[in-house]
Structure 1
Amino acid sequence: MLHPIRCVLQRSLHHGSCRRLSLSAQCYNTGRKGLVLGVYEKNKEEENLVLTQAGDRFDAIVSGKLRDQLTRSGPSLKKGKSRIFYGLNEEFPSVVVVGLGKESAGFNQHEVWNERKENIRTAVSVACRQLQDMEIEQVEVDPCGDAQAAAEGALLGLFEYDELKKKKKKLVSTRPYGSQEAEAWQKGVSYAEGQNLARYLMEAPANYMTPTKFAQIFEEQLGKLGGDVKVFTRSKQWIEEQQMGAFLSVAKGSDEPPVLLEIHYSGSPDPKEQPLVFVGKGVTFDSGGISIKPSSGMDAMRADMGGAATVSSAILTAATLKLPINLIGLAPLCENMPNGRANKPGDVVRAKNGKTIQVDNTDAEGRLLLADALCYAHGFNARAIVNAATLTGAMDVALGSAATGVFTNSSWLWTHLQEAGAVTGDRVWRMPLFEHYSKQVTESALADLNNVGKYSRSGGACTAAAFLKQFVTVPHWAHLDIAGVMSNKDEVPYMRKGMAGRPTRTLTEFADRLSKDKNPS
């Protein structure tokens, strides 16, 4: 049976046909093959090249020709730089050697990530893309001492959304070269394919990735995992019965019906264990509503469902890996459009918990969806609630694409999130949740709350978080504003330009860590 995440990536949105994008060894067969090998930067006192263990083994097979060719071809390879050699070996006619940086690299306190893992991801992605450009279909990859990071680099690097183009990138299958680290490699494959699924969903045009279609994808794929997973696609009628007036007020501006996708994964040995609840904003297209956005760049708002894409993909990854934790995912899905029924600036809507909200800016709609979803999340006796949303342009201004902004009332949650981001390289950064910001959203002329701060341009990401805080009563809650990390230009070197699917791997790693920490403090 095909890997469940891979199945999603194979399905064409347009015709329902199957197509492999960047696969692991499952379909591997004999034919034209390429090999990726790593080499470390030489220290000044070192005379010989420092190859990885896999590189040393290959060099022995080819009677020292690899070292000889590397030495003759120029100076020591710098981090992320590559050279290609032909004819060294009959099995691998093309061998790409890529620089891994310093062998001593590890956790970088100033960068708050594991530099060694990042170097491996970058190096492997560079080499795999080079072989892909040569139309080599099968690639074996040096694990470089960390098979999980190598697998992530390979699959994240090869992914490109060309679903609707006639001319497509050559499909490449990958597997580890001479490695006994099959389990770590497969974990990296699952992590990367989870993020690639989020990228796929975020990149898809809004006329293809509607709320109904989004929910259908997860309903189909999670349904294949068996009894540990249950999926509910909640209709507009159900949403009305739940009195989610804030969510419905956004959805009424579109002809596309709203959906609340609800996912339950019961992976803990103790079925009564409190679940970790993920909530993701799912605006499949955001025009801004009556407070309409500028036309330039509006097409990118097809990815305003990035919160829903990342949390749902993280749960699918967790279920695929059978992590021993109970997870619930909630994704309120709709479009924000400016028809005659749409919210108007100054309208007042009522959230599920009874609080009224003055909507002074219809483009601050994500917090309205999340308000109702957070109220609903409290009904699950959650161990912790974590929401993710492409919520504010102010977050992009504050941090850019360097890290996801985290607002939290729990140092315990923050520690686990920060550690997870350091491992995945998809970092997080803590932002203030001061009462100072709460006062700016609780002073409203017409209602209990205003959906924008009274000083609209000041601390926009912070006032948005303060607004969400009004719908939270649990002691362990975190809000992840992922607007700054929504897309990738060239900031993450092991991913091509386009929607980034961040922070899917960090959420998966975070869930993995919480599954091992049963006692929050």
Structure 2
Amino acid sequence: MPVCIFTKVNYLRLRHIYYKSVPVYRLFSTSRGNNKGLILGVYGEESKENSFLLSKASQAFDEKCNGQLSKTLGLFGNSFKKGKSHLLFGLHDEFPLVSVVNVGKKGQGFNEHEELDEGRENVRAAVAKGVLQLRSADQYEVLVDPCGDAMAAAEGCHLSEHKYDELKPADKRKPPMQLSCFTENLNADERTEVEAAWQLGATYAMSQNFARLLMEMPANLLTPTRFAEMVTEKLQELCEVVVRDQSWAESKKMGAFLSVSHGSMEPLRFVEVSYNGGEESAAPIALVGKGITFDAGGISLKPPADMDKMRADMGGAACVVGTLFGAAKLQLPINLKAFIPLCENMPSGTATKPGDVVTAMNGKTIQVDNTDAEGRLILADALSYACTFNPQFILDMATLTGAMIIALGSAAAGTFTNSSELWKLLHKAGGQTGDRLWRMPLFQHYTENMTSCQLAALNNIGNSRAGGSCTAAAFLKEFVGENQWIHIDIAGVMMNKDEVPYLGTGMAGRPTRTVIEFLKLFSAKEN
């Protein structure tokens, strides 16, 4: 049987060639009752004599198909470079379609300048391309070459396969893919190790995908009440979930949180989640997430362009939920408590007005000069409440400032912390996951900017637009007391266009995997 090469152009042509009304590629998959696809990796080399090296799995498959794989790939010469992929069929009866991806030079590790593990990132991107290629060919049961890093391969596969299409017509939806690791060339011990790494990567990816699902949902469907219900449904078998209402917030004197919710008809919710994986006497780690399920700006109304994206202004809360899910599934030996304030920020006759003064749970008064700087208000009370549990440290995530988008774009999430020790672990975690963070300053200069206020102890905006992310972090710092604290401003990484090749277009769920990895590193250090 001749081998057919599916380059992008050839595939587009061949998929429209029919034999008795059956597409050519389906002749190979359906005629034998087999609809399994396979993704294989090769390493790109700079040698003119041999432009690629087969991975272990590719070598095994090449033997299985009597050298047809290497012979076919040899036709591409030096044009088959990192990031390229080819869809082949007719190599072997068991796998009618094979996507071969180039994962780059073998042995690449941590790049000091890029601050990430390039080898792992190359694997994520390469296998993701293979997944999308096979899905476009209607292959939904796919085995994946671990490409030397099964965890990274699983992350790339499951992250790229995720798509929020629940509200589209049935004929426009793609069924979920069954993705598994190709291990038939390994012995029993190797298979056990590789499959464990694959499952770890799948858990990381599924955790981020749940955050992406929440962020992508329309705000009329994902109200504060529905968010709380979905958290309960997702976590109740792994954690203890308690959902609070407005009367509870009033009893705690959360005046800042309440002030944001006043403009909306949707009732607020405050979700408290406890995961107890460590010793009973061990202090918890506090996770706090901004949960504005829609942000119109309040009286300080946002411009209409791209306002629909503000359905994801609860991205911090979504990432906290995804992190909790991942930590619990991995059974990390730590105690976690999550605090998630949920409400809408809408304009109405009952909304907070610019110039109003509110009192936070810790007793500090806040002059609200811009109602569109609402995230820091709800976080102020959530952080104050988190302090009452005497945590080991507090980590919050929030789509907080447009200034962070200007500062860092989508390359990294801005991070503010009063602990260099915690920062080192978090920074290391970002290098491993490929979802990087960048440390920003917490100078007293910014605090003075926020405490220079006409009517109250604090203003909710700075006295100029300069350093907007830094002044926002300085505001939050007033509500963490003496605790070790990390604030991650995720506004710049809220969405993905094509910057991260394995995330596709849409809400990103970043940096969920990095925070899970950070907690994993922290728990290993402590135990």
When normalised by structure 1's length, the TM-score is 0.92
Q: 1:65 corresponds to which letter in structure 2?
A: Q
Q: Match of 1:15?
A: none
Is 1:437–2:463 an aligned residue pair? no
Please give the alpha-carbon distance, in whole angstroms, between the structure 2 residues aligned to 1:249 and 1:232: 22
Q: Match of 2:173?
A: 168
5 Å-filtered alignment, 1:454-469, equals: 454-455=463-464, 457-469=465-477
Is 1:155–2:158 an aligned residue pair? yes
Q: CA deviation at 1:255?
A: 0.6
Number of aligned residue pairs: 485
Q: Match of 1:300?
A: 309
Q: Match of 1:485?
A: 493
When structure 1 is superposed on structure 2, of 177-186 and 433-442 the one drifting more is: 177-186
5 Å-filtered alignment, 1:249-288, equals: 249-268=259-278, 270-288=279-297
When normalised by structure 2's length, the TM-score is 0.91
CA distance 1:444–1:48, change in 2 (3 Å): closer
Q: CA deviation at 1:172?
A: 1.2
Give the number of the structure whose alpha-carbon radius of gyration is greater.
Answer: 2
Q: Match of 1:42?
A: 45
| SS at structure 2 position matched to 1:517 | helix
Q: Match of 1:242?
A: 252
Alignment counterpart, residue 391 of structure 2, candidates 379, 382, 388: 382
Please give the alpha-carbon distance, in whole angstroms, between the structure 1 residues aligned to 2:509 and 2:167: 19
Q: CA deviation at 1:221?
A: 2.0
5 Å-filtered alignment, 1:283-362, equals: 283-362=292-371
Q: 2:259 corresponds to which letter in structure 1?
A: S
Please give the alpha-carbon distance, in whole angstroms, between the structure 2 residues aligned to 1:202 and 1:171: 19
Q: Match of 1:6?
A: none
Q: CA deviation at 1:169?
A: 2.1
5 Å-filtered alignment, 1:441-452, equals: 441-452=450-461
| SS at structure 2 position matched to 1:421 | helix
Q: CA deviation at 1:44?
A: 2.0
- Note the aligned Cα RMSD (angstroms): 1.2
Q: Match of 2:404?
A: 395
Give per-residue Cα distances to partners, 1:5-60, cap 9 Å, x unaligned. xxxxxxxxxxxxxxxxxxxxxxxxx8401000011112326537311111111111
Give per-residue Cα distances to partners, 1:93-119, cap 9 Å, x unaligned. 000100101102110000000000100
Q: Match of 1:406?
A: 415
Please give the alpha-carbon distance, in whole angstroms, between the structure 2 residues aligned to 1:475 and 1:234: 25
Please give the alpha-carbon distance, in whole angstroms, between the structure 2 residues aligned to 1:468 and 1:111: 30
Please give the alpha-carbon distance, in whole angstroms, between the structure 2 residues aligned to 1:170 and 1:110: 40
Give per-residue Cα distances to partners, 1:120-168, cap 9 Å, x unaligned. 0000000000000011110000000110100000011111111100111
Q: Match of 1:19?
A: none
Q: Match of 2:203?
A: 190
Please give the alpha-carbon distance, in whole angstroms, between the structure 1 residues aligned to 2:216 and 2:407: 24
Q: 1:171 corresponds to which letter in structure 2?
A: P
Please give the alpha-carbon distance, in whole angstroms, between the structure 2 residues aligned to 1:253 and 1:414: 37
Please give the alpha-carbon distance, in whole angstroms, between the structure 2 residues aligned to 1:74 and 1:518: 51
Please give the alpha-carbon distance, in whole angstroms, between the structure 2 residues aligned to 1:345 and 1:55: 64
Q: For structure 2, list consecutive stretches of 5 or more residues without a partner in the other structure.
A: 1-32
Are the counterparts in 2 of residues 420 and 509 from structure 1 also a CA contact under 8 Å?
Answer: yes
User: Taking every aligned residue pair, what percent have the same amino acid on both sides?
Assistant: 55
Is 1:219–2:247 an aligned residue pair? no
When structure 1 is superposed on structure 2, of 68-77 and 105-114 the one drifting more is: 68-77
Runs of 4+ in 1 over 3 A off after TM superposition: 45-49
Are the counterparts in 1 of residues 109 and 117 from structure 2 also a CA contact under 8 Å?
Answer: yes
Q: Match of 1:371?
A: 380
Are the counterparts in 2 of residues 132 and 171 from structure 1 also a CA contact under 8 Å?
Answer: no
Are the counterparts in 1 of residues 297 and 346 from structure 2 also a CA contact under 8 Å?
Answer: yes
Are the counterparts in 2 of residues 42 and 76 from structure 1 also a CA contact under 8 Å?
Answer: no
Q: Match of 1:233?
A: 243
Is 1:508–2:516 an aligned residue pair? yes
Please give the alpha-carbon distance, in whole angstroms, between the structure 1 residues aligned to 2:140 and 2:299: 49
Give per-residue Cα distances to partners, 1:347-388, cap 9 Å, x unaligned. 000000000000000000000000000000001110010000
Are the counterparts in 2 of residues 49 and 67 from structure 1 also a CA contact under 8 Å?
Answer: no
Please give the alpha-carbon distance, in whole angstroms, between the structure 2 residues aligned to 1:462 and 1:162: 37
Q: Match of 2:434?
A: 425
Please give the alpha-carbon distance, in whole angstroms, between the structure 2 residues aligned to 1:366 and 1:394: 14
Q: For structure 1, list consecutive stretches of 5 or more residues without a partner in the other structure.
A: 1-29
Is 1:206–2:209 an aligned residue pair? no
| SS at structure 2 position matched to 1:458 | coil
5 Å-filtered alignment, 1:14-163, equals: 31-44=34-47, 47=50, 49-163=52-166
Please give the alpha-carbon distance, in whole angstroms, between the structure 1 residues aligned to 2:83 and 2:334: 37
Please give the alpha-carbon distance, in whole angstroms, between the structure 2 residues aligned to 1:287 and 1:198: 21
Are the counterparts in 1 of residues 34 and 94 from structure 2 also a CA contact under 8 Å?
Answer: no
Please give the alpha-carbon distance, in whole angstroms, between the structure 1 residues aligned to 2:333 and 2:132: 35
| SS at structure 2 position matched to 1:328 | strand
Are the counterparts in 2 of residues 39 and 77 from structure 1 also a CA contact under 8 Å?
Answer: no
Are the counterparts in 2 of residues 441 and 467 from structure 1 also a CA contact under 8 Å?
Answer: yes
Q: CA deviation at 1:287?
A: 0.1
| SS at structure 2 position matched to 1:340 | coil
Q: 1:248 corresponds to which letter in structure 2?
A: L
Q: CA deviation at 1:218?
A: 1.2
Please give the alpha-carbon distance, in whole angstroms, between the structure 2 residues aligned to 1:361 and 1:182: 51
Is 1:497–2:505 an aligned residue pair? yes
Please give the alpha-carbon distance, in whole angstroms, between the structure 1 residues aligned to 2:137 and 2:176: 11
Please give the alpha-carbon distance, in whole angstroms, between the structure 2 residues aligned to 1:172 and 1:78: 27
Are the counterparts in 2 of residues 401 and 484 from structure 1 also a CA contact under 8 Å?
Answer: yes
| SS at structure 2 position matched to 1:445 | coil
